[in-house]
Amino acid sequence: MADLLLLALGASLVNHFVFSGVIGVRPVVAASRRVEAAAGMGIATLFVLTIAPALDHLVWRGLLVPLELGYLRPLVLILFITAAAQVADLLLRAKRPRLQELLRGCVPLLATHCAVLGVAILNLEQPGSLLASLACGAATAAGFAIVLLLFALLQERVDTSDLPRALRGAPIALVTAGLMALAFVGLNGIGPR
């Protein structure tokens, strides 16, 4: 249990893929203009990154390894990511149409989202149990949601600030992302020695 907790903490905060792996910076900057949209994208990412690696793990152990079809694993993973993104989009349309409208079709793009694909592929390389796969996917998505929400809150604050003209828009977004990256990198020394 302690191992799963350390894995979850490491995946969500210490080894954060946006800042330590520089995967998915653009979605953080683009999708976090409003807190509600950031929360919706975080929830959709949580759904996709929890379901797809779990299904992949089950198919890997139950079908691909016994039939010696290991070379098909990336293709199967991409199919699961696409299916999970489509299910997340359908659920958002049914349950939260306003949020789905706010995200303007971003949820189906989770299937090609570099962060989702990168984390899922990294999850492939780490042998472990189904529970570890679930924990890693959910914790990574939770870390992404935290970054999205924090960035959205900061962006809302920056948008109402009186900034010099040269810093408005993308420049201040990149400065903000850089400062957040420094804060997350500061967590790197935390853990057992």
**pLDDT band per the 50, 70, 90 thresholds, residue 162:** confident
Residue 191 lies in a domain: no
Domain that holds residue 48: 7-185
Domain-located, residue 86: yes
In a domain, 108, yes or no: yes
* Largest Cα span, the chain: 62
Q: Which two tokens stand for residue 134?
A: 């679930």
User: Does residue 120 sit within a domain?
Assistant: yes
Please give the tally of structural domains in the chain: 1
124 vs 95: CA distance, rounded Å: 32
Is 151 part of a structural domain of the chain? yes
pTM across the whole model: 0.73
Structural domain contains residue 192? no
Q: What is the pLDDT of residue 142?
A: 84
Give pLDDT, residue 109. 63
